[in-house]
Chain A
Amino acid sequence: MTVLQADDAARRAVEAVWRIEAGRLVAGLTRMTRDFGLAEEVAHDALVLALEQWPKAGIPANPAGWLMTTAKRRAIDRHRREATHQRALQVLSRDREIAESADGSSAIDDAMDDQIRDDLLRLVFTACHPALSLESRVALTLRCVGGLTTPQIARGFLVSDATIGQRISRAKRTLQTEHATFELPTPAEMRERLSSVLEVIYLIFNEGYAATSGEQWMRPALCHEALRLGRLVAGLAPGEPEVHGLVALMELQSARIPARATSVGEPVLLQDQDRRRWDRLLIRRGIAALERAESTGRPVGAYSIQAAIAACHARALTIEETDWEHVAELYEVLGDVWPGPVVELNRAVAMGMAFGPAAGLELVDALTDSRELRTYPMLPAVRADLLQKLGRTAEARREFEQAAALTQNESERGILLRRAAECR
């Protein structure tokens, strides 16, 4: 290995430790300093020092302890510099022995273990604070809980480093002015705040999932990070059915990633996917997470119902084996908790598969006046498919062409025009 390669290997090793430790590091520091922005900054200071020192001195036996001790020393230094020495000592005194233990090994672990879970949960709720815009919540969650760097987040969302940097610093300022307390929400606030957390995670997932049909790898990596965050929150709030529901949905959707694109990157629709390429381990995990959601004994919501639909598809090795009647039923339930024309359109597809194209068409026809779907290519595409199955090819062709005109996606347009040409 050349020196440069060795440096690179050491840097990547430090980054790995950081990804594992960042969340609880920032969470623990925030609890101690009561200052989220400060915690985030000193944690990053510790990372920078690790990047300087570890490649030369080797990774310490207890990297987490090293990072925590270093970050806390920085926090104390900053407080001193800002002439709030007394307060700093007061705040930090209960942790003084830990902060001053030489390598901060077992003392920190013992003091931290029982706190870590609550601290992390607080951190997740703080990063998804209602005072922040949705995009700030996303950036802050990925950075503070996920341990992603600003450039990594920027690459994931296809925006500049500066944009993400601004979002993060603005978010930290907002939390400061809002005096966002680093506390667990009351049980009453819990559900509302949790739904914001889940929304942020699912948004991150979809940002990657929409791009999984052959784009640069960093975007699909967002799916993985969202799934990881979801699993983490499920571990922190195991009694909440929708957390498990969202995890189940993401596991099951991720299972399809290997089959969602052709070798040249064209998207492949669910009904055309080679299901032998689906990831069986993720399917198994998704179904298990769905069972956990149902076993909480509390009413499930939109994520769990969507996961149940995804599980129906996952259980079937071919499109024909799908329990379409059950899928149609689930879409009806979903329509009750989360009404909307897109859900209705999906129900129409399931009805068409379960009870024949005429049954599906009846539902689709009821949607043609929907203003929300006026520019939605899937409406004419679904209608076209049902008309074609009914032998009404001339109408089907017009609808396929209409769908092709509406789509923004080049390869989807190609598929739709091919199908239009088949309708002769």
Chain B
Amino acid sequence: MRYVVLLKGNQPATPPPAGLMEGIFALGEEATRAGVMLDNAGLAPSAAGARVQVADGRLSVTDGPFAESKEMISYAVYEVASKEDAVEWTSRFMKLHQDLWQGWEGEAEILKALGPEDFAPPA
């Protein structure tokens, strides 16, 4: 089962401690070695992005930054055996932030990509 994890967060005034990046890289390496992390990358602040919308019969493009206070920070794609596996890897990732960056707050959305398991086999 494939899950896309989107990390959103508010940056505290203090810069990210050196140990955090090290921890993130180590966990990423561990998940990659374990064969469950397919892809991941950091995301630039929304100011670098744009939004393409269809509303009232019109297609419009709006440049960032967007109004939400939380910025998208990174994404990861996991391929795991259950939602709980994705939750466990993501919790470890979030715990690193909790433990190592005083005042950091954020949330990770775990979204399931539809896969063969979502389509009932033929009767």
The yes or no verdict on A and B being binding partners is yes
Q: Which residues of A contact B (CB under 8 A)?
A: 9, 12-13, 15-17, 19-20, 61, 212, 214-217, 220-221, 224-225, 227-232, 235-236, 257-258, 263-265, 281-282, 285
Name the interface size band of chain B.
20 to 34
Write out the residue numbers on chain A whose beta carbons fall within 8 Å of the beta carbon of B84: 9, 12-13, 15-16
Tally of contacts, chain A with chain B, CB under 8 A: 70
Scoring B residues 44 to 65 as 1 if CB is less than 8 Å from chain A, else 0, what string do you get? 0000000000000000000000
Are A265 and B34 closer than 8 Å at their CB atoms?
Answer: no
Determine, out of B12-20, B85-93, B103-111, the stretch whose residues face the partner at the interface: B85-93
Q: Least Cβ distance of A319 to chain B in Å?
A: 23
Q: Least Cβ distance of B31 to chain A in Å?
A: 9
B121 sits at the interface (CB 8 A)? yes
Are A217 and B117 closer than 8 Å at their CB atoms?
Answer: yes
Q: Which residues, 96 to 121 on B, are CB-close (under 8 Å) to A?
A: 116-117, 119, 121
Write out the residue numbers on chain B whose beta carbons fall within 8 Å of the beta carbon of A216: 121
Are B121 and A12 closer than 8 Å at their CB atoms?
Answer: no
> Whole-angstrom distance between the alpha carbons of A204 and B87 in the complex?
26
User: Looking at A61, A217, A221, A227, which has the most chain B CB atoms within 10 Å of its CB?
Assistant: A217
Are A281 and B32 closer than 8 Å at their CB atoms?
Answer: no
- Given A13-B84, A16-B87, A20-B85, decide whether A228 and B117 contact each other with a Cβ distance below 8 A: no
Chain B, residue nearest A262 (CB):
B122
- Given A232-B34, A265-B122, A281-B39, decide whether A19 and B81 contact each other with a Cβ distance below 8 A: yes
Write out the residue numbers on chain A whose beta carbons fall within 8 Å of the beta carbon of B83: 12
Are A258 and B116 closer than 8 Å at their CB atoms?
Answer: yes
> Whole-angstrom distance between the alpha carbons of A232 and B82 in the complex?
18
26 contacts between A and B (CB under 8 A): A12-B82, A12-B83, A13-B88, A15-B82, A16-B85, A16-B87, A16-B88, A19-B85, A20-B34, A20-B85, A61-B95, A214-B122, A215-B121, A216-B121, A217-B121, A228-B79, A229-B35, A232-B33, A232-B34, A235-B33, A236-B33, A258-B116, A265-B121, A265-B122, A281-B38, A285-B38
Are B82 and A230 closer than 8 Å at their CB atoms?
Answer: no
Write out the residue numbers on chain B whose beta carbons fall within 8 Å of the beta carbon of A221: 81, 117
Are A224 and B79 closer than 8 Å at their CB atoms?
Answer: yes
Q: Which residues of B contact A (CB under 8 A)?
A: 32-36, 38-39, 77, 79-85, 87-89, 95, 116-117, 119, 121-122
> Whole-angstrom distance between the alpha carbons of A187 and B1 in the complex?
37
> Whole-angstrom distance between the alpha carbons of A121 and B19 in the complex?
28
Write out the residue numbers on chain A whose beta carbons fall within 8 Å of the beta carbon of B35: 227-232, 235
Are A220 and B116 closer than 8 Å at their CB atoms?
Answer: yes
Top 9 closest A-B pairs, CB basis? A231-B35, A228-B35, A16-B84, A265-B122, A235-B33, A16-B85, A16-B88, A12-B84, A217-B117
Q: Least Cβ distance of B113 to chain A in Å?
A: 10
- Given A20-B85, A20-B88, decide whether A228 and B122 contact each other with a Cβ distance below 8 A: no
Write out the residue numbers on chain B whose beta carbons fall within 8 Å of the beta carbon of A231: 32-35
Are B121 and A228 closer than 8 Å at their CB atoms?
Answer: no
User: Looking at B34, B82, B89, which has the most chain A CB atoms within 10 Å of its CB?
Assistant: B34
Q: Least Cβ distance of A65 to chain B in Å?
A: 13
Write out the residue numbers on chain A whose beta carbons fall within 8 Å of the beta carbon of B38: 281-282, 285
> Whole-angstrom distance between the alpha carbons of A281 and B115 in the complex?
14
Are B116 and A228 closer than 8 Å at their CB atoms?
Answer: no
Chain B, residue nearest A216 (CB):
B121
Write out the residue numbers on chain B whose beta carbons fall within 8 Å of the beta carbon of A263: 119, 122
Are A217 and B33 closer than 8 Å at their CB atoms?
Answer: no
Are A257 and B116 closer than 8 Å at their CB atoms?
Answer: yes
> Whole-angstrom distance between the alpha carbons of A287 and B23 in the complex?
29
- Given A265-B122, A285-B38, decide whether A235 and B89 contact each other with a Cβ distance below 8 A: no
Are A16 and B82 closer than 8 Å at their CB atoms?
Answer: yes
With contacts A20-B88, A231-B34 known, what are 10 further pairs, Cβ within 8 A? A15-B84, A16-B85, A16-B87, A20-B85, A217-B116, A220-B117, A221-B117, A229-B35, A231-B32, A235-B35
Write out the residue numbers on chain A whose beta carbons fall within 8 Å of the beta carbon of B121: 214-217, 265
Q: Least Cβ distance of B85 to chain A in Å?
A: 4
> Whole-angstrom distance between the alpha carbons of A236 and B121 in the complex?
36
Write out the residue numbers on chain A whose beta carbons fall within 8 Å of the beta carbon of B87: 13, 16
Chain A, residue nearest B114 (CB):
A258
> Whole-angstrom distance between the alpha carbons of A20 and B90 in the complex?
13
> Whole-angstrom distance between the alpha carbons of A232 and B87 in the complex?
20
Write out the residue numbers on chain B whose beta carbons fall within 8 Å of the beta carbon of A214: 121-122
> Whole-angstrom distance between the alpha carbons of A73 and B85 in the complex?
27
Write out the residue numbers on chain A whose beta carbons fall within 8 Å of the beta carbon of B32: 231, 235
Q: Least Cβ distance of B34 to chain A in Å?
A: 6
Chain B, residue nearest A148 (CB):
B81
